[in-house]
Amino acid sequence: MAVEVCVKAAVGHPDTLGDCPFSQRVLLTLEEKKVSYQMKLIDVSNKPDWFLKINPEGKVPVFNGGDGKWIADSDVIVQVIEEKYPSPPLVTPPEDASVGSKIFSTFVTFLKSKDSNDGSEQALLTELQALDDHLKAHGPYINGQNVSAVDLSLAPKLYHLTVALDHFKGWKIPENLTSVHAYVKALFSRESFEKTKAAKEHVIAGWAPKVNP
């Protein structure tokens, strides 16, 4: 049986890859390990019965390693992929595994914020500065010369951050965070990323109802 992964389809475009950063993380992991897989696009506003049977919670991504057993949760999925396909190794050392882990939540808070004095922009800048400091000391990637799991988790989130904040707030990552800029450029230009990213308009469409409910 083939390796299969169920991922989010674009909003209003059920045949197009959608904007779920957790789905992209799994696809990136498979691409970096050169594992061939079948991608099944799930319209999350109209989930098919077969999908709800294998995954009653209805969340994406869901992964089947070819043994017919479906696994949910991107944290668990990438661990299973790592164990089953150990080469090239993508394990991030424990001391680096949480680098950048608060960027996504602080980005979402800032994106949804309607009050410029609520501290949400500063909270995001603090997290980005911490990432920049780490990359200056240890880069170009979080664990040095080679991409690892933490980069593949962060890359889709940084993509959402750059696309959504530019569109909805006209906000960009400050130029003085040079290591972050180099990091983003390196990640976004990887072949695995080019193949698995959602189009910018689908990222924007995915965030629109959350920004202006």
Looking at the annotation, which residues are catalytic? Answer: 20
Residues in contact with 171: Cβ distance below 8 Å, sequence separation at least 6, in sequence order: 110, 121, 165
Is the CB of residue 5 less than 8 Å from the CB of residue 61?
yes
Dihedral over alpha carbons 56, 84, 86, 186 (to 10 degrees): -30
Query: How big is the CA angle at 53 (ends 51 and 57), to the nearest 5 degrees?
Result: 75
Residue 141 is classified by DSSP as B
Give residue 141's identity as a one-letter amino acid code.
Y
The 3-state DSSP class for residue 106 equals helix
